[in-house]
Amino acid sequence: MPYVAVSALSHPGLLRDRNEDSLVIGPWTLCATVTESPQTLVFPLGTPLVVAVADGLGGHPGGEVASALVARRIASIGPALSSEDAVRSALNACNRAVFEAAGDEESELATMGTTVAGVVVQRDSLLVFNIGDSRVYAASGGTLRQVSVDDNPPLEPGQRTTSVVTQCLGGSSAHRAVVPHVTTESLSPGDRYLICTDGLTDPLTTDVLDEVLREHDDGRAAFELWKAAIEAGGPDNITLAVVRVGDE
């Protein structure tokens, strides 16, 4: 029977006081929590399965509240995300929900926000989505390929990363609309995808991610990616999920 295996973890890193990331795997969510080792869940391939990460904005109040709100909302409607339009509608609804939860300018949660990135695994195809700079990579076909779109301003010469995002869910005192990035990928047995927050991609180059994913599968790959980010200084919260389509 075809199946989807998801191996994931979420960790605060070495420099942050708390974890403001959240994780969605089907109906399950992990919000502002620390996992000491990767967890692997297996699902039958068929009903749309959403796997996503949400990264609460650092430097803003309530980042963990915003990421958890989005994660739980996406998890609750995951099986209905069967088209690009459905995903776009869901993300726009999440954006409105974050602004509504933030309240007015006097609220302690004013300007809270979060990025989001993920996939919806279907029987023969996969929907990729993101808002912000959390990422989705395709790790099949011999090369690691970023399939999400970073919402960052252009980098200065010699600059490899930036913490500035050009759009996110919430994140300002006045409501701002978002334009979700949503695309469709073909899907075959053996395909793998990496979904992660920038706590993984800021300290690690794509070459390092590619090397780890070539050498390891599933939970071991998730562990080795986390370990590499920690060894590179662990400057931010690290949340990641390795998704693999099997046919056994």
Mode of pairing for the β-strands spanning 135-138 and 192-196 = antiparallel
How does pLDDT run across 133-180, given as a tens digit for each residue?
999 999 987 789 999 999 998 888 877 888 889 999 999 989 999 999
Contact 141, 187 (CB under 8 A): no
How does pLDDT run across 205-219, given as a tens digit for each residue?
999 999 999 999 999
Tell whether the model's pLDDT for residue 104 goes beyond 90.
Answer: no
Residue 61 DSSP class: T
Tell whether the model's pLDDT for residue 16 goes beyond 80.
Answer: yes
28: confidence class by pLDDT, cuts 50, 70, 90: very high
Q: Give the helix ranges, DSSP H, for 8-50.
A: none
How does pLDDT run across 35-71, given as a tens digit for each residue?
879 999 999 999 999 999 999 998 778 999 999 999 9
Contact 66, 31 (CB under 8 A): no
Tell whether the model's pLDDT for residue 248 goes beyond 80.
Answer: no
How does pLDDT run across 184-195, given as a tens digit for each residue?
999 999 999 999
Hey, which bits of 12-144 come out as E strands? 21-25, 28-31, 39-44, 49-56, 113-121, 125-131, 135-138
| Angle ∠(115,136,30) on CA atoms, nearest 5 | 55
